[in-house]
Structure 1
Amino acid sequence: MGWAMLASMAVVAVLALVLLRYPRKLWTVPATALMLGAAGYAWQGSPGLPGHPVVPGGQRVAVDQGLIDLRDAMFGKYGTYAWSYGNLADGMLRQGDRERAVKVWQGAVRQVPGDVALWTGFGSALAEYDGNQISPAAQFAFDKALALSPEHPGPPFFYGLALIRANRFAEAEPWWEKAVALTPEKASYRPALVARLLTLEMFLQEQARREGRPAAGPAR
């Protein structure tokens, strides 16, 4: 097909020269251009390779606005590093660019290495980028967040969420219990954490019932 298209271009070029009454003495100029194009195609072209459709670089990701609101409520919103970098990373995710979303959080922890919210976001982004599996890098980021602020409910909650996304439900339960225990009674986001924990407990109890195991009751 490549050679056929090249030949067609040559025919069209000759017809254009005739119709435009291009001086025959100068026909060597376009002829030289065509010859150079043919030589370049013969040198670097690959007409024997099979064709294939072009695949888009990334698919848009549906970002959970409820989790974004929860993150903002737990770590603070306007004027905080987590809010600024989180918005930027969320935008990258909506465009389907998980790699750039991770790099946003990576740049954030480099700029502000003592911010617990940034390390938590970095861990969540790494886990999602790795196919919802907690890689050593994601584990390191979560461990860093947990060590920076042991009394903050954010790191244990989002670490538990990463465990759930990795289908490690039983491991997630104590982390969500810890997040609820660390949350002040009057915190606006406490009902959301309690509701998620109750849902997880009900799921685990049903799973235990189906497998014929004794179901553990709520630890709270």
Structure 2
Amino acid sequence: MAGTGELPQEKAGLMGWVALGLVALLAVVLLWWLGVARPLWSFVGAGLMLGATGYAIQGKPGLPGHPVTAFTRPIALDDGMVKLRDDMFGRFSGENQYIVASDAMIRSGDPKAAVQVLLIGIRRVPNSIALWTDLGLAFQTHDRGVVSPASKLAFEQAMRINPDHPAPPFFYGLALIQAEDFAGASRYWHRALALTPQKVGYRAIIAERVALLDRYLAETRER
């Protein structure tokens, strides 16, 4: 009714679709401005389509609005793995500022912001294997432990940029371990060990983890 301050259902629904279209347009412009690789656009598009589908099925634009409060839970990072990552990539590189910021976002419980920070860094340093590797880990955290297509793409890009560096396959393997794909992790950890020079300090850490994983796989095969 007029005078109640509420929009008719049809008009509210139309405005909702217009707003959704503006969000999609803004996303495309932002991706172009950040210089995000085209293969990643499909993941954003999939998210928008999922949102549009949910809106079409469950959306009720005629309902009055109400304030909501964001809820995030802190996420613990393995300090040993953080140190190993720093030893493998170095702590004083130009892209390290983005990795430190991403770690802070993860710890605060906002993996989406961590992904965004790393994408900004990649736009500025597109051939950084450290940023691409960390992006793979951030996507996995964002996707609740699943090695999603976006996470897989990021790790693979790091390995394409520098196929001789042990860090990308090692951390890809770590992500697979967390996703409980132990056989897949073994392949990448063995590759990482083979690529690690004999004299570097962190080789013993990688070798120990490879041995533990091999032992676990052997025991599970015997059962």
Question: C-alpha deviations, 1:142-194, integer Å up to 9, x for none?
Answer: 11101000000011001111111111101110110110110011111111111
Which is greater in Rg?
Answer: 1
Partner of 2:135: 122
For 2:77 and 2:188, how far apart are their aligned partners in 1? 23
Q: How far apart are the structure 1 equivalents of 2:92 and 2:125?
A: 17
User: CA separation in 2, counterparts of 1:101 and 1:160?
Assistant: 21
Matched, 1:72 2:86: yes
Q: Which residue in the other structure is 1:205 paired with?
A: 218
What is the aligned partner in structure 1 of residue 73 from structure 2? 59
Aligned partner of 2:23 in structure 1 is none
How many Å apart are 1:112 and its aligned residue? Answer: 0.7
The percent identity for this pair of structures is 42
The residue type equivalent to 1:61 in the other structure is I
Task: Compute the displacement of 1:79 (Å).
Answer: 3.4
> Structure 2 counterpart of 1:74, which letter?
M
The superposition leaves residues 56-82 of structure 1 with CA deviations (integer Å, 9 ceiling, x where unpaired) of 61000111111110000001112341x
Counting only pairs closer than 5 Å after superposition, residues 155-194 of structure 1 correspond to structure 2 as 155-194=168-207
Distance 2:126 2:5 in 1: 52
Query: Structure 2 CA distance, aligned partners of 1:78 and 1:190?
Result: 21
Alpha-carbon shift at residue 43 of structure 1 (Å):
6.0
Taking structure 1 as reference, are residues 80 and 197 closer, same or farther at Cα in structure 2, changes over 3 Å only?
farther
Q: Give the letter for the 1:149 counterpart.
A: N
User: Could you say what secondary structure the match of 2:134 adopts?
Assistant: helix
Secondary structure in structure 1 of the residue aligned to 2:183:
helix
- Taking the aligned partners of 1:55 and 1:173, their CA distance within structure 2 comes to 42
CA distance in 2, matches of 1:96, 1:114: 28
The 2-side partners of 1:139 and 1:75 are apart by 20
Superposition deviation, residue 55 in structure 1: 7.0
In structure 1, the partner of 2:101 is 88
Other-structure match for 2:11: none
Extract structure 1 runs of 4+ deviating beyond 3 A: none
Specify the SS of the correspondent of 2:198.
coil
TM-score, normalization by structure 2: 0.68
One-letter amino acid of the structure 1 residue matched with residue 80 of structure 2: G
Q: TM-score, normalised by structure 1?
A: 0.69
**Structure showing greater relative contact order (alpha-carbon pairs closer than 8 Å, 6 or more residues apart):** 2
SS at match of 2:75: coil
1:157 partner letter: F
Partner of 1:50: none
Any unmatched runs of 5+ in structure 2? 7-67
Unmatched 5+ stretches in structure 1: 1-39, 45-53, 211-220
Matching residue of 2:125: 112
> Deviation string for 1:18-67 (max 9, x for gaps)?
xxxxxxxxxxxxxxxxxxxxxx9x868xxxxxxxxx87610001111111
1:35 corresponding residue in structure 2: none
**2: CA distance between counterparts of 1:126 and 1:208?**
31
Deviation, 1:129, is 1.0
